[in-house]
A and B are shown apart, each in its own frame.
Chain A
Amino acid sequence: MTGKPVQRLIARFALIVGGLMMSYGCEVNKPEAQPEAQKDTQAESGRKNTSYNLKYVACSPDKMVDVEIKSGAIAPVDQYVFVCVGDKIRWFTDDDNSFTAKFNETAGAKTNNLFESGLAVIPSKPDASPNVGGKSHKQVTDTQIVSKNAILYNDYSYQVVARDKNGKTVVASDPHVIPMGNGGP
């Protein structure tokens, strides 16, 4: 055997061995299966990555929490919104109606300790921000920053009261904001 046949033989051999090693090596490198005892089988539901508790709930400090109001109501998925200290949150609508987010005030408290602004009543106004990439809305509230005084895991329920052009109330809904510390459970 000389020259090219030898090279071909070497190449074929190397390819086969490489393939075998790759299959074996990658099997070994698989992420370790979680031991049964450590799995949170109680909380896991049938679908992947969902749970009946707060396992897959976490705040997102790097982005604005935008809560959309459609026809005076908040989508079921946003009925409970979880936030952390320092998070920015605002409410917006692409409807014509203006609205007000009114947090329930306890008898002893005149102001709201959820937001740094201390506001408990947050009205919407026409969105004056430049329409960049279609991200402008018809009505938007001032951005609120979650205060360090917010009571963690307390349920701050609020009402969204939408009004038509004549100031008449059209719909009200009763969603919730839950502070959860600095990144979730």
Chain B
Amino acid sequence: MTSNAIWRTAIRSGFILSVLTTTYSCNFKTPETAPKTANNLTYVQCNPNGINVPVTAPGSVPLAYEYIFVCAGNPVEWFTDDDFKFTVDFDPSATDLFESKKTHLDSAPDPTGKHKHAIKGQKVSDHAKKLLDHSYCIHPQGTPVSACGAPSDPHVIPM
């Protein structure tokens, strides 16, 4: 076997082996499986950086936001990128939920320009009763105001 022949054999073998190795080893690195979920509060945790709830026309929230969980001191914001003002109404007795003690909240044009309209500046109170369900309703301006208390109302749960 001459030197050239040896090199040719080496290159061919190396190529074939590397392709096989790559194929085999990369099969170990399949994409990550779906994140774990639970049917209780195992994977629910409040976020001190802020709770941001999108409001979609005609005054509802995405299903994932039907229940949001908050902790004392969390800033809560509702916003919409559509062109409508809205109000958020909690039960009038829910004065312990936010530091402001407000239960009726009006949206305003978002001063940051990030969204069209938003309700900002509500911080969860230290006195909010833990795990108590606070349901609320959203009224887009210009639509008939229906009574709160519908089963489809979204919820805020202090943790």
Q: Which A residues fall within an 8 A CB radius of B?
A: 1-2, 6, 9-10, 13-22, 24-26, 29-31, 42-47, 49-60, 65, 76-83, 87, 151-155, 157, 176, 178, 180-181, 184-185
Contact B44 A51 (CB under 8 A): yes
Residue B152 interfacial (CB < 8 Å): yes
Q: How large, as a class, is the contact surface on chain B?
A: 35 or more
Q: Collect the chain A residues with CB atoms within 8 Å of residue B13's CB.
A: 10, 13-14
Main secondary structure of the interface of B (DSSP, over half): mixed
Q: Name which residue of chain A comes closest to B35, CB basis.
A: A49
Top 8 A-B pairs ranked by shortest CB distance? A56-B43, A185-B63, A21-B18, A25-B22, A58-B37, A17-B14, A50-B45, A185-B64
Query: Is the beta-carbon distance between A22 and B21 smaller than 8 angstroms?
Result: yes
Against A, the Cβ 8 Å flags (1 = close, 0 = not) of B1-34 are 1010010011101110111111001100101100
Q: Which residue of chain B is the closest to A79 with respect to CB atoms?
A: B131
Instruction: Determine if B47 and A14 form an interchain contact, defined as CB atoms under 8 angstroms apart.
Output: no
A56 touches B38 (CB 8 A): yes
**Most B C-beta atoms less than 10 A away, residue of A10, A18, A25, A83:** A18
**Contact present for B25 and A26 (CB under 8 Å):** yes
Decide if A57 touches B10 in the complex (CB within 8 Å): no
Known: A31-B31, A45-B47, A50-B43. A17 touches B17 (CB 8 A): yes
Across the interface, which residues of B come within 8 angstroms of A18, CB to CB?
14, 17-18, 20-22
Residue of A nearest to B46 (CB): A52
B17 is contacted by which of A2, A14, A83, A154 (Cβ under 8 Å)?
A: A14
| 18 further A-B pairs in the complex, CB-CB below 8 A; given A21-B18, A22-B21 | A6-B1, A14-B13, A17-B17, A17-B18, A21-B21, A31-B31, A46-B47, A51-B43, A52-B46, A52-B68, A52-B69, A76-B131, A77-B40, A81-B39, A153-B66, A155-B133, A155-B155, A178-B67
Which residues of B lie under 8 Å from residue A10 when comparing CB positions?
6, 9-10, 13-14
Q: Does B52 contact A (CB under 8 A)?
A: yes
- Partner of B40 from A13, A55, A81, A152 at Cβ < 8 Å: A81
Assess whether B113 is interfacial by the CB under 8 Å rule: no
A-B pairs with beta carbons under 8 Å apart, 7 shown? A14-B18, A15-B17, A21-B18, A29-B29, A50-B44, A54-B63, A185-B62
